[in-house]
Amino acid sequence: MTQEHFCTVDTANGKVRGLTSAKVRQFKGVPYAASTTGLNRFQRPKPCAPWAGVRDCFGYGPVSPQLPSDIGSDYARLVQFDLNAGFGGLGEDCLHLNIWTPDAEPAGKRAVLFCIHGGGYAQGSGNHPLYDGAKLAAFGDVVVVSVTHRLASFGYLNLADLDPSGPWADAGAAGILDLVAALEWVRDNIAAFGGDPGRVMIFGQSGGGFKVSTLLGMPAARGLFHRAAVQSGSLLRLVSREDSVRIAQAFTENLGLSKRNLRDIQTLPWTQLLAAQTQVGMHLFSPVLDGVNFPAHPFDPAAPLESIDVPLIVSTTQDDAGLFFNTFNLTDAALKQMLAAAYGAKAESLLALYRVHFPDKSPYLLHSQIITDAGFRRFAYAQAERKAAQARAPVFTYLWEWTSPAYDGKFGAVHAMDVAASLYDERDVIVGGGSRAARTMCDMLAGAWVAFAKTGDPTHELIPHWPRFEPTRRSTLVFGDPPRVVDDPYAEIRAFWQNMPGPFSLFG
């Protein structure tokens, strides 16, 4: 390794040194806020102290405490979620950014793509291989940033309502406040990396989409980003204080704490907190509608005014809900029984409706799509409709139909199928492991990401003209073979679910 492989940048806190590979400068583990250990636990993020000399940022920093996914799950291995805790280690000093930027001097400042990882509010990290930004930075001549932040109980434990007199006012919002702090860091420092702080696009899939949805309605985040994309994670409502209190009570009781000794929670080993959240249910923790950090639900009953001028992309994959099931040998008879139990007299007509459009689909994939349409897709439509109703910034929608060849194609177009393509990771098995088809899908979706980040319009030369979504036409870009624009795709199916009663919860 020679000196030309190193690169140094001045930040507000001190100099950081990264590595250059294939003309892309890479800085990993750059702190954007202080450690959240000890008295900083369950508090809003604090500024990190400046340092003297040069800080080497050659490797990933720690990630928020969590457990890896089951390595016996084919889906977890398909999206590599068994590797969530494997890059950077675990710990509460987890507020770091990873930055990829071309080494050539730009003619002007580059657009910035700020990637927020998935995994609900409980798992994942910006260190995961799925979110590596090197290829996207080179492909699009853009700056790519990924972020780690607090998760589950560490980021969303409603202690304020357990002990209103304690120092817990922001505990139920800490994980999202971390993202605000990271975006503030980008605003103040990204120009030194060649980025344009006035052209920042935030995007995320699944839990990353939940977080993008939340930031769109958050007063503290207003003005920190200028485009947004939600992939299979359209969140309309936050958890109520009442529900979050019940979760917090179960968690603190598991730790043997009460209001009398609640402050001891800041001195317990983080491993003890991790064990407690696992027993209570790590996916129960999410941002709390506290009336202060979050004065209203992000997209219910309407789209938020805080982001009224921010262009938005909203999407789903055809078979998103397949991540919840491993019933690959499901039979037609068993599917009929399941639908009859769930939908009663409407089950027969429902199945017939799907068979008209998808006569050759396996019962497993048909079930996955039905659950997707009942939940993920219904929420995505509602989010797009409410954004369009503001009649200000445009909203664009896409449907990912392209089927991964991995695992003999049994997953169809499952949840997270489009993540690798959005980051131009053509080597990922999800999009075909470097095949020509993989490169084509990356060219199309990553090209749309780059165009959108730069201009607010995702259309580029490799896809059809992508019209904005309007409630009357409902134009949608379908990423399939071939890519095409369809007005109101599968309209009869959408209408069926729109007329079905059901609570607007996280998943339906």
**Hey, which bits of 337-394 come out as E strands?**
none
Residue 470 has pLDDT above 60, yes or no: yes
Q: How far is CA 298 from the centre of its chain?
A: 15
Could you state, in order of their start, the residue ranges of all structural domains in the chain?
3-310, 314-498
Residue 506 has pLDDT above 50, yes or no: no
In contact, 417 and 430? CB cutoff 8 Å? yes
Q: Calculate the alpha carbon distances from 87 to 34, 55, 117, 128, 131 in Å.
A: 20, 19, 14, 7, 12
pLDDT band at 505 (very low <50, low <70, confident <90, very high): very low
Q: Compute the average pLDDT of residues 5-19.
A: 95
From the CA atom positions of the chain, what is the Rg in Å? 22
pLDDT of 239: 96
Adjacent-strand bridge partners of 63: 90
d(CA 120, CA 150): 12
pLDDT tens track for 219-250? 999 999 999 999 999 999 999 999 999 999 99
Determine the straight-line distance between the first and last CA of the chain, rounded to whole angstroms: 53
pLDDT tens track for 37-90? 999 999 999 999 999 999 999 999 999 999 877 777 888 888 777 777 668 789
In contact, 15 and 54? CB cutoff 8 Å? yes
Right CATH number for 3-310 from 3.40.228.10, 3.60.15.10, 3.30.230.10, 3.40.50.1820?
A: 3.40.50.1820
pLDDT of 404: 81
Within 10 angstroms of residue 56's Cβ, the number of other Cβ atoms is 16
pTM score: 0.95
What dihedral do alpha carbons 81, 83, 88, 91 form, nearest 10°? Answer: 60
18's tokens: 């990264």
pLDDT of 507: 33
In contact, 231 and 315? CB cutoff 8 Å? yes
Q: Calculate the alpha carbon distances from 160 to 215, 261, 268, 488 in Å.
A: 21, 14, 19, 44
Q: Calculate the alpha carbon distances from 387 to 251, 304, 452 in Å.
A: 36, 8, 17
Interacting residues of 506 by C-beta distance below 8 A, sequence separation 6+: 210, 235, 286
Q: Which residue has the tokens 């529900």?
A: 243
Tell me whether domains 3-310 and 314-498 share a fold.
yes
Longest Cα–Cα distance in the chain? 72
As a whole-number percent, the residues of the chain with pLDDT over 90 amount to 83
The string of DSSP codes covering 462-497 is TS---PPP-TTT-EEEEESSS-EEEESTTHHHHHHH
350's tokens: 């429902």
pLDDT tens track for 119-178? 999 999 999 989 999 999 999 999 999 999 999 999 999 999 999 999 999 999 999 999
pLDDT tens track for 295-344? 999 999 999 999 999 999 999 999 999 889 889 999 999 999 999 999 99
Helix-strand-coil split of the chain, %, nearest 5: 40, 15, 45
* Domain 314-498, classified CATH 1.10.1200.10, yes or no: no
Q: Calculate the alpha carbon distances from 501 to 201, 297, 300, 335, 386 in Å.
A: 35, 20, 16, 21, 19
pLDDT of 409: 87
In contact, 309 and 216? CB cutoff 8 Å? no
Q: Compute the average pLDDT of residues 266-294.
A: 96
Mean pLDDT, the chain, integer: 93
Cβ burial, residue 202 (10 Å; 0-12/13-18/19+): buried
